[in-house]
Structure 1
């Protein structure tokens, strides 16, 4: 398997060795990133975006890559994250397969892919790596740190482990600890991959790829990324026009099944299975209660920012709304002016990617006030 690196990606070399939270260290590791806008003379207008599990660093089109990014509607001149005002940096998650070092990268000690020889990965490792990118760009303090989904976890870890790293924080559909439902779903996703015979204990290649396992893992994920309300409104009980062939009596029959199948097939060869396993497990392990003597609010209260907002959707079942409310409460205990903004979006966890009017108003409104 090879990495999947978008055109125009830039790279930051991490310190060597780069120590990992759960043991071990990496040599020659790097983080992929992209930038938009200009850093001002005072170097105080920088915004860092840390992402969910699967996105690359290409959040929006730029000079290096004119193709639309995964957050194109949110980021750019005059948009909610206004690149006429802000110098924006987006990093690809540490452990990913889209430019940053991870299990799909070459181990310089052996010349082979790391695969399962990659050290145990934590959200905190991703936070430390992202912080090193910021320092490498000559930025002493971010104007704002923005974290989506898993990136919301990464952002909290960064703020806790690197005091003073940012003046303000936007946490979008994030959490301070993994909850049992989310852990259960991710456990099933990992099991689907590991039980595919082609996974071969991480030793697959392009010819023998665990496609069925990745398809099932992605389908489970997509089901939890959206809401039952949206599934009903979007597909109802509409059946496919073509009849099922006799040799496949339990095959695809409804439009929602066809949608999931198409979505999964587009994803499976664009993300490395071992990277998926590592990143998924890192979220399960994350728990700010470790930093608060067993209490997550005390862990959050150790974070110091001037101002913050935690935004979520009522229909999110993967990172439910009470987790964003908890983030705001904990940051307030630490002295921040922290608001909780629940949005009536029907799109579930993925709402921040598709419900641009609601999320743009919340994000842009916050940034305009700092």
Structure 2
């Protein structure tokens, strides 16, 4: 089974047994996290970052792991999330294979991985488990909770279910509920994995791994993470230099196909397929529209991207309206980035000022 814990990760134990929202419990569960900056004496300067589906807790370089993190331009001394002022905690989601307990983790009761015996994961489970990281660090309330994509859903669940844990919220490219299009895309991704014979009902091994299914799932994901405008600008109709292989007349011909293949191959051996299934389904199940009208936030910033097809900007506008109806002063930004859902990971010219300006006002 495939677990990929970044170097330098820290771990917060969950209560044992730990009970999920479906009523099932597991022993010895943990959440992986990393930190930056210094927690003040009042423990009042904490920012909690909640990750998307495939992200680990290594959001930025640390002394223990100096390699760049997935949000490196955003976090650090003098950056938008300024570690000279803030104590930043990034948690890897429950259910992941990046250090937190998930389907690829060993079940202490059986001595084998949980696989499909893992409890039915929900976004609320991810939010619940993140609060135990705060407790582990001696933090009663995070001044700011930040989440993007699936992490944005988790942040909304945390605000709904643990109102005393968060004062301010930055919610990025997320949704209060899953739309049919998003469900359809994720359903096809899960189907691609499950139809790979090597998935074997979740009983694959590192040697017998459903690579084809994961490749297809990742390609579908990447297509939905970016916009048609970006695909056209980056690749157009550029063809590959080599001629089509006579043995494979329908093989890759265009540069965009080669890009997708390379992206998929870099991913497939670095994420556990069963974790992908559980976390993907958790997003489809999420529904908190009514609850968001009753949150207790001091303020919120909601950011959407106009070219996002997976989490359309109308969904972020809806979140902002729901939060505002609860009485929380809420700012909504609709950014004209051409880079779709993944813009928060690449379009720093737009995202850095938005996050920096909001945090400076707190």
Normalised to the residue count of structure 2, the TM-score between the two structures is 0.99
State how far apart, in whole Å, the 2-side matches of 1:40 and 1:23 are: 37
Contact 2:167 2:297 in 1 (8 A): yes
Are 1:337 and 2:332 matched, yes or no? no
Are 1:109 and 2:101 matched, yes or no? no
State how far apart, in whole Å, the 2-side matches of 1:42 and 1:357 are: 34
After TM superposition, list the pairs within 5 Å mapping 1:249-288 onto structure 2. Answer: 249-288=249-288
User: Aligned-pair distance for 1:27?
Assistant: 1.0
Are 1:11 and 2:3 matched, yes or no? no
User: Aligned-pair distance for 1:45?
Assistant: 0.4
Q: How many residues align?
A: 362
Are 1:233 and 2:244 matched, yes or no? no
User: Aligned-pair distance for 1:303?
Assistant: 1.1
State how far apart, in whole Å, the 2-side matches of 1:252 and 1:266 are: 17
- Secondary structure of the residue aligned to 1:126 is helix
Q: Which residue of 2 aligns with 1:292?
A: none
State how far apart, in whole Å, the 1-side matches of 2:173 and 2:227 are: 14
Are 1:79 and 2:79 matched, yes or no? yes
Query: Which structure 2 residue ranges, 5 or more long, are not aligned?
Result: none
State how far apart, in whole Å, the 2-side matches of 1:199 and 1:348 are: 31
Are 1:328 and 2:320 matched, yes or no? yes
- Secondary structure of the residue aligned to 2:238 is coil
Q: Which residue of 2 aligns with 1:44?
A: 44
After TM superposition, list the pairs within 5 Å mapping 1:97-176 onto structure 2. Answer: 97-176=97-176
Q: Which residue of 2 aligns with 1:34?
A: 34
Q: Over aligned residues, Cα RMSD in angstroms?
A: 0.6
State how far apart, in whole Å, the 1-side matches of 2:50 and 2:60 are: 14
CA-to-aligned-CA distance 1:317-337 (integer Å, 9 cap, x gap): 001101111111111111100
State how far apart, in whole Å, the 2-side matches of 1:77 and 1:39 are: 14
CA-to-aligned-CA distance 1:295-342 (integer Å, 9 cap, x gap): x2x321121100001001000000110111111111111110011100
Q: Which residue of 2 aligns with 1:352?
A: 344
Contact 1:35 1:90 in 2 (8 A): yes
Are 1:306 and 2:298 matched, yes or no? yes
After TM superposition, list the pairs within 5 Å mapping 1:197-212 onto structure 2. Answer: 197-212=197-212
- Secondary structure of the residue aligned to 2:163 is coil
Runs of 4+ deviating beyond 6 Å:
none
- Secondary structure of the residue aligned to 1:220 is helix
Are 1:318 and 2:310 matched, yes or no? yes
Q: Which residue of 1 aligns with 2:223?
A: 223
Contact 1:164 1:305 in 2 (8 A): no
- Secondary structure of the residue aligned to 1:33 is strand
CA-to-aligned-CA distance 1:134-174 (integer Å, 9 cap, x gap): 11111111110000100010001011111221110000001
State how far apart, in whole Å, the 2-side matches of 1:130 and 1:363 are: 22
Contact 2:2 2:270 in 1 (8 A): no
Contact 2:192 2:217 in 1 (8 A): yes
CA-to-aligned-CA distance 1:343-369 (integer Å, 9 cap, x gap): 000000000000001011111110010
Q: Which residue of 2 aligns with 1:293?
A: none
State how far apart, in whole Å, the 2-side matches of 1:26 and 1:89 are: 25
State how far apart, in whole Å, the 1-side matches of 2:347 and 2:300 are: 21
User: Aligned-pair distance for 1:2?
Assistant: 3.0
User: Aligned-pair distance for 1:23?
Assistant: 2.4
CA-to-aligned-CA distance 1:164-213 (integer Å, 9 cap, x gap): 21110000001111110000000000000000000000000011100000
Contact 2:53 2:279 in 1 (8 A): yes
User: Aligned-pair distance for 1:93?
Assistant: 0.7
State how far apart, in whole Å, the 1-side matches of 2:141 and 2:271 are: 33
Contact 1:23 1:120 in 2 (8 A): no
